[in-house]
Every structure is written in C-alpha cells, then in structure tokens.
Amino acid sequence: MAIQSKTAFLEHFPLFETLNPDEKLRLTQMVEVKIKPRYSYIYLPGETSDKIFFLSKGTVKIGTHSKDGKEIIKSVLHPTAMFGEMGIVGEEERQDFARAMGQEVHYCVLKVEDFKRLMRSNHQLSIKILMLIGNRLRRAENRLESLIFKDARTRIIDFLKDAADQRGRRVGFEMLVKHSLTQQDIANLTGTSRQTVTSVLNELRKSNLIYFNRKSILIRDMESLV
C-alpha cells in the first residue's frame, strides 16, 4: 500500500489526531496494512503480545476459551477500534484471541515497540492510551458487578440496552441494532447459556418489547425495557 493511502487510512483514527505531520509520517512508515477473511484469527492465546492493531473494516471479537471449550466474549469491535493493546501495558503473551466475525476484516498492525516510541515523543498520545485502558478497566469492573449482582435475564436485557446505546440507530421511538451475533454469542457475552438467551429474547418479543431476526434487534421502547 502506498504511503499516501496509508496516510489517508490513519486519518480515520481519532487516536492519531494529535500527531504532528512528522509523527504521522513516522507512523505510516511503521504501519502494515492487512486483510483477512471472515472467521480467521488475528491472534491466538500463547502468541507474543508484541503488536497492536487498528480495525478499519469488519467486526472482530475478542475473547477466551476455558479448558472445556466454553467461550467468553470480552468485546465485539467495530472499525476505528484499537485492539491487542495489552502488549502496551506489559502483557508478554496473549491470553485472548481476536477473531474476524462474519465479514472480511481490514486492519493495520504495528509493533508495540514502535508505538511506545511514538508515545514517548507525544505525551498526548500516552494520555489517550491511558484513558482508553482506563475505560476498558471501568467496563470490565462493571461487567464483574453485573455478573455478581444481576440475574441472567437482567444481564441479557442490559446487553440489549448497551448495544442500542452504543450502536443503535433511532427509528422513530424505536432503536434498531444491526449486528452479526448469534444467540450463542450473546450468551458468551453475558455469561449465560444459549437456551436462556433464546427464551429471554422470545419472552421479550411476546411482550412486544423487542422484535428481532438473525441480523438485527429492534427495541420498541428503551424506557419500558427493564
């Protein structure tokens, strides 16, 4: 990929806004652009955490597997998100996997070492990264709370609300969330079983609080969904 288009590429990431032209040039020189087919793994547990990634197209899920094959999805990422950032904060070896969901993914890769050097030269960038990791931490702790304090049904409803808040499109009073998650995925995101997800969703549909098909969920009224 030509330097020029790489530059354009980087313009899309808010994280790099504060970089001066020189730093941007340096960044383009150390970045590598990649494309991978759907369902492919971008990294796997056990690999060295020496790279970070920036997603420009497609959807990526980050998660872990237990020994007996259960899965936790830690997050589902959309373009412009950074991932694999644990390498920046001292992780040696990946604990999680990153996997392309049902579409081809485009992303760029850079070495943690190079990125750290950039951080050293641009304090603003360091601060942004710190805030970003802080947000991750806040989200992880909230999830912990909801696992301990809330029952499965409530967690699934919370998931619906979060999804709508973060990625929903208003349609009148309703909220439409397009996604590429199976009900098993939703189960893995909420720490419940697939069957529980199915029955909660269907129950909500019967009560006319939501409508859904495989590709999207429509929340009829965010207020009444409790």
Partner DNA sequence: TCTTAAGTGTAAAGTATCTTACAAAAGGAT
Partner DNA sequence: ATCCTTTTGTAAGATACTTTACACTTAAGA
Residues in contact with its own copies by CB under 8 A are 64, 66, 70, 72, 74, 86, 88-91, 95, 120, 123, 126-127, 129-131, 133-138, 140-141, 143-145, 147-149, 191
Q: Which two tokens stand for residue 208?
A: 């006319």
Which region, judged by CB under 7 A, interacts with DNA, from 10-18, 92-100, 112-120, 208-216? 208-216
Query: Rounded to the nearest 5 degrees, what angle is found at the Cα of 60, between the Cα atoms of 4 and 80?
Result: 40
**Per rule CB under 7 A, is residue 214 in the interface with DNA?**
yes
Which region, judged by CB under 7 A, interacts with DNA, from 8-16, 41-49, 169-177, 178-186? 178-186
**Per rule CB under 7 A, is residue 67 in the interface with DNA?**
no
**Per rule CB under 7 A, is residue 48 in the interface with DNA?**
no
Q: Name the residue with tokens 């995101």.
A: 189
Among 194, 211, 216, 225, binds DNA (CB under 7 A): 194
Between residues 47 and 174, which has the closer beta carbon with respect to its own copies? 47
**Per rule CB under 7 A, is residue 135 in the interface with DNA?**
no
Q: Which helix (H) or strand (E) holds 9?
A: helix 3-11
Residue 187 CB, nearest distance to DNA (Å)? 7
- Report which DSSP code applies to 105: E
3-state secondary structure 136-153: HHHHHHHHHHHHHHCCHH
- 84, exposed or middle or buried, with CB in 10 Å at 0-12, 13-18, 19+? buried
Dihedral angle, C-alpha 96, 102, 104, 110, nearest 10 °: -20
Q: Which of residues 149-168 bind DNA (CB under 7 A)?
A: 151-153
Between residues 37 and 134, which has the closer beta carbon with respect to DNA? 37
